[in-house]
Chain A
Amino acid sequence: AQKVTQTQTSISVMEKTTVTMDCVYETQDSSYFLFWYKQTASGEIVFLIRQDSYKKENATVGHYSLNFQKPKSSIGLIITATQIEDSAVYFCAMREGGGGYKVVFGSGTRLLVSP
């Protein structure tokens, strides 16, 4: 069964610094898709970035990038030049590639960015 684990419950950083959030996953499938979502203080959940398991290049979108380490079943989210508005809860998620479209999430990491 697929499983996603985020062990960091909260992280505090200063503005303009770089932060990395950890995520490890378990799956039996050789093909899968990994996602990061952000939940803002208002409760809104939005998609940030995605990594396909067959791609070797780490995905990058704006100031978000991924550190995909397939042998370690790890997909870290890196936020560079953090801003106050990056303060939120970040969820890691996975969908297996077998066509079932089941998407499971980790427990989330709360990020606090201070001025």
Chain B
Amino acid sequence: EAAVTQSPRNKVTVTGGNVTLSCRQTNSHNYMYWYRQDTGHGLRLIHYSYGAGNLQIGDVPDGYKATRTTQEDFFLLLELASPSQTSLYFCASSDDWGGGQNTLYFGAGTRLSVL
């Protein structure tokens, strides 16, 4: 069974603070994604990556940086957090086209509050 682990599960910070959300997958998947979930908006793509050192821009990237350090690890960085970034963040991984379903396997989510 695919495994995606996010940490921390909950985080509270203040406006202007630095936050790093971590995601590790043990699926040997090449693709990893960061989404935020807000009421009325569903899941919106922030950044994604197809391997270590690679970064692709999603649909709502402003205020977020991301870094893929290894195949397993994908980090989301908020360097100057704002209250508008209060949200539920999900990480996901996906296999490649060759034989897989290309479905996303999601982590349990990180709830971030920016005060």
- Residues in A lying within 8 Å of B, measured CB to CB: 6, 33, 35, 37, 43-47, 50, 91, 93, 95, 99-108
Interface size class of B (residues with CB under 8 A): 20 to 34
Chain B residues near A93 (CB-CB < 8 A): 43, 104
* Set A35, A103, A106: member contacting B45, Cβ < 8 A: A103
Q: Which residues of A contact B75 (CB under 8 A)?
A: none
Contact B106 A45 (CB under 8 A): yes
| Contact bitstring B54-98, A, C-beta under 8 A = 1, else 0 | 001011000000000000000000000000000010101010010
Residues of the B chain whose Cβ atoms lie less than 8 Å from the Cβ of A91: 42-43
A105 touching B42 by the CB < 8 A rule?
yes
Query: Taking A102-B56, A106-B42 as contacts, is the C-beta distance between A44 and B94 under 8 angstroms?
Result: no
Bound together, the chains give a CA A106 to CA B94 distance in angstroms of 18
Shortest C-beta distance, A92 to chain B (Å), equals 9
Q: A100-B56, A103-B94 are in contact. List 18 more A-B contacts (CB 8 A).
A: A33-B102, A43-B108, A45-B90, A45-B104, A45-B106, A46-B106, A47-B101, A50-B101, A50-B102, A99-B97, A101-B48, A102-B48, A103-B45, A103-B104, A104-B45, A104-B59, A105-B35, A105-B43
